[in-house]
Amino acid sequence: MVGIGCLVLAGFAATGCQKKPVAPGGAGMQPMPVQTVAVTLSPVPQSSEYVATIKSRRSATIQSQVEGKLTQIRVSSGDRVKAGQLLMEVDPQHQVATVDSQRATERQKKALYDYNVSRARPAAQTL
């Protein structure tokens, strides 16, 4: 068995070492023409330009507590702010109109209440 294995191995070695004939006339792969350049010493630029977006590590969303139009913004993006610092001003006309409307509704309901109470007293006295 060992003898047959050695014989097969010798056969592979003998056939693998033979040169294969090359077909004449360019049937195989042709070498690609290349251009060479001599290496020269030249300076390398010290800076590069990149396109990027910078985002801060910490940010906050600013939102007013009341509804209305902003009349003035007192800070810019990137400014440092302190607690209690005025950041923006909201046009007070909307809030003033809302308060006036609520006060008018309150006066109307109080007047209706007073009217109903004054009418109820004489009716109660007649019973």
Place of tokens 């009716």: 123
Amino acid at 10: A
Would the pTM of this model clear 0.85, i.e. be above it? no
Burial label for 68, CB within 10 Å (0-12, 13-18, 19+), is middle
Stated length of the chain: 127
d(CA 123, CA 120): 5
Tell me the pLDDT of the chain (127 aa) as tens digits.
Answer: 666 766 666 666 666 555 665 555 556 778 888 999 898 988 887 877 778 887 778 777 877 788 888 899 998 888 888 988 998 898 889 889 999 999 999 999 999 999 999 888 776 666 5
- pLDDT for residue 42: 87
End-to-end CA distance of the chain: 134
Place of tokens 């046009």: 91
Which string of DSSP letters, residue by residue, matches 2-41? Answer: HHHHHHHHHHHHHHHTSPPPPPTTT-SPPPPP--------
The C-alpha angle 107, 93, 97, rounded to 5 degrees, equals 20
